[in-house]
Amino acid sequence: MNILHYWRALWGIVWRELFRFVTQRERFISALVRPLVWLFVFAAGFRSALGLAISPPYETYILYEVYITPGLCGMIQLFNGMQSSLSMVYDREMGSMRVLMVCPLPRWFLLLSKLLAGVGVSVLQVYVFLAVAWFYDIKAPWLGYAYVLPALLLSGLMLGALGLLLSSFIKQLENFAGVMNFVIFPMFFMSTALYPLWKLQESSVFLHNLAQYNPFSQAVELIRFALYGQLNQHALYYTLVAFIVFMVSAIIGYTPSKGMMVKKGGPG
C-alpha cells in the first residue's frame, strides 16, 4: 500500500459523506434552524426577563447573544458528531460498514477518514450559521472568523470521536435515540454554552463542577476565545487530550479482536 491508496480512500470516504450531506437538504436545514431558534428565541426571552427595550439601545441583549453564539457553534458540532455516529450504526446494519472495514487499509485510518468527513460538514454548517448571525448584527472581529477555524477543527474532531466511540457500543439503530438523549442534552446543558461558569456556581456548586470538567465546555471555551482572536490554552489542551482518549477508545471499540465488536459478531 502506498500513499496514493491512502489518498484515494480518504477522498472516497470524504466525498461520500459530502454527497450524502448535499442530497439530504433537510439535514442541513435542521442543523441550521436548531441553533438559530436558540439564538433568537432564547435570547429574546433573556431580554424580556431583564425588561430591556425592544428598540435600541439593547447592549445587554446583544452582549448575551454574542456570548452564546460560540456555544451554539459547539451545539452544531455536537449534534453533527452524534448524527455521524448514527450513520455509522445505520451502515453497520445495512452491511456497508463491513465493506469499508475489510479493505486492506488500517482500521484507524478508515475511522479517522470518516471522522474528518464529518468534521468538514460540521465546519461548513458553523460558518453558515455565523453568516446568518452576522446579518442579524451579531458580529465577531473579521480575523476571528479565520482564527476560529483551527478551534472548530479540533472541537469537531473531539466531538466526532466521542460519537464514534458511542456508535461502537450501540448494536441496533433503535437503541440510538435513547443513548443520545443521555449524551447530547446533559453535555449541552451542563456546560458553559449558555451561561458562564461563575453564573453556574451561583446556582449550584455541583453543576459548576460538572460543567468545568465537561469536555464540551472546554470545546465551547476554545471556540469562544478563538472567535475573538484569543487562545485559551487550558481549553486547547483539555480538548486535545479528550480527542485522543475518545479516538483511541473508538479504534479499540471497532477492533474485533479487542473491542465491543467481538460481542456483536463483527462490523457488518
Task: Give per-10-residue mean pLDDT for the chain (268 aa).
Answer: 76 76 69 75 58 43 67 89 75 65 76 87 90 82 92 94 84 67 83 80 82 92 91 94 94 70 48
Q: How far is CA 33 from CA 59, 76, 131, 245, in A?
A: 25, 10, 13, 31
Residue 58: what pLDDT?
39
Helix and strand tally (H, E) in the chain?
A: 13, 0
As a whole number of angstroms, the distance between CA 50 and CA 42 comes to 13
Q: Count other Cβ atoms within 10 Å, centred on residue 40.
A: 13
Residue 258: what pLDDT?
55
Residue 262: what pLDDT?
46
Domain coordinates of the chain in residue numbers? 3-264
As a whole number of angstroms, the distance between CA 255 and CA 268 comes to 12
As a whole number of angstroms, the distance between CA 64 and CA 194 comes to 9
Task: Please enumerate in sequence order all residues whose Cβ is within 8 A of that of 73, keeping only pairs 6 or more positions apart, or say none.
Answer: 35, 126, 129, 130, 148, 152, 220, 223, 227
Residue 74's φ and ψ, nearest 5 degrees, are: -65, -35
